[in-house]
A and B are shown apart, each in its own frame.
Chain A
């Protein structure tokens, strides 16, 4: 039979300060742990939501990103002739050949340069990305040196306000609009006319071809057609998968580093919990003796102290998560290792992170509480009663 939970919980309440300090230590570790996972999840979610499920991205085989890719006009012509490309209501085929180039711009906060993606787009580009909408100014006019900038660019980089001009590729480009891409990767891009970009950057090839499938279930067939065509050396991916792959390295790096740091920190928190629980056992030796005399088994005593330690962990876990969830209000910007481009994203709390953080906190409580609990359970009744 178990010792009542009320008794266990009240013991934590009776030592409020010690409980608060120990749980506080665990809360800090959980805060770091959850924040790092939220960072990785935010990056992943930003890039994954950049892609549409029924859109297909075609790049040169072996190139991981659009910046490394090159597809010449003869190859784009073959892709454009595919019968599987969807057609818009106005009869336009939903396919876009896009050059993607990196330029360097100074960050608004520090003045330090960071890489920014310049994307040459076409009339079909906006139809292919319904999440993109203009929020200020107007769209660039085709055939001119006008550009529109993503919201994260407008807030994060100098010289990117509406009406200002940016100098790159030996030209001055006027910013005529700001677009919101719904917290996707496109928010960190500058868009201009594709043909103008090719001329200005003196590039003979496009970086990627994006098209929408008329029938999303035909993806595997289209992929096989393009990848097995001996005239083409291309790689075909669903757009969502393409962007998800781009988040892998950085997200993994952040998660691994953060988890490593959290585990090192957690050793301190576990020691703190163990000290608290040892003190709890020592100060309640007579109570333990009494409970055993009344008939509670060694197992019940072990369980009671373990539950007490787990409750400590749970309090710490919840406090840490509450703190970490406040981080969702923040947007940060960093360079993606794979694309070498700056990308802005937010801390994102997912149900998985909540579960992982609470499990981490409970594990700290369990490890910290086990030895003191075992000590309490092993006490001889007469020795424990003598402590009264």
Chain B
């Protein structure tokens, strides 16, 4: 799968999964207004694998955070599956995230006191699934990322690549609408990074997961369907 800077796939009448219109984000420091994202429009369709690239400070992580509903825009609209998430209250947004977003972080962000199993199970604590159903789902997710035999290990007993696999299993476990990945290979060596990127590509290809990934790494970006460049808060390609 190669991903040069490509336009969004023809909509062909389809509604975008993520529809961003006139999005701006700025910070106010004293009497100074610092723009991070400026009047941005972007559509992401279901099943897409999008890479967000750009230099440090270009606003790519901020854009990802806004799409994932962990930050609020200064103005504009973000619709995900038709819901204007910028208009949701704090608690509505928390519930929305738990159902629609899977997170993959650069430093894995696993709970150090929980085993691989416990970490993957964590998002399911927010559901009404029974214990047996949770167990079954966690076992499937761990099998998918090839870590069935590491289920009882704590994060500090796992390699970086294995920890990121646990994080991917955690991101998948609730079958979210969208997976957001912020520099998922940023803390990994080249070989391990390739393994993780291969896994993400599989999730997209085989499970049809929509993935939006922020990365600095052009090789990582190549695995995506579409490449979006940001510079100084503006889309450039």
Contact = CB atoms under 8 A, between A and B. Distances in A.
A381 interface: yes
Interface in A282-308: 286-287, 289-299
A388 B91 contact: no
Contacts of B70: 292-293, 381-382, 385
A146 to B, nearest CB: 73
A381 B94 CA distance: 11
Given A7-B113, A295-B94, A381 B71 contact: yes
Given A381-B71, A382-B71, A295 B109 contact: no
Given A4-B125, A7-B114, A381-B71, A294 B97 contact: yes
B79 to A, nearest CB: 19
A299 B91 CA distance: 9
Nearest to A1: B126
Contacts of A381: 65, 70-71
Interface residues of A, number: 28
Contact of B105 (A7, A290, A292, A299): A290
Given A286-B109, A381-B71, A382-B65, A294 B103 contact: yes
Nearest to B122: A294
A6 B112 CA distance: 13
B176 to A, nearest CB: 10
Nearest to A381: B70
B179 to A, nearest CB: 13
A359 interface: no
Contact of B97 (A286, A287, A289, A295): A295
A35 to B, nearest CB: 35
A14 B154 CA distance: 12
Interface string B7-27: 000000000000000000000
A7 B94 contact: no
Interface string B91-110: 10011111101010111010
Per DSSP, chain B at the interface is helix
A6 to B, nearest CB: 7
Contacts of B106: 388
A63 interface: no
Contact of B109 (A3, A6, A380, A385): A385
Contact of A298 (B90, B101, B126, B170): B90
Interface string B68-96: 10110000000000000000001100111
Contacts of A4: 118, 122, 125
B126 A385 contact: no
Contacts of A291: 111, 122
Contacts of A286: 107, 109
Contacts of B71: 380-382
A294 B94 CA distance: 8
A296 B111 contact: no
For A10, A13, A14, the residue with the greatest tally of chain B CB atoms inside 10 Å of its CB is A10
Interface of B: 65, 68, 70-71, 90-91, 94-99, 101, 103, 105-107, 109, 111-114, 118, 122-123, 125-126, 170
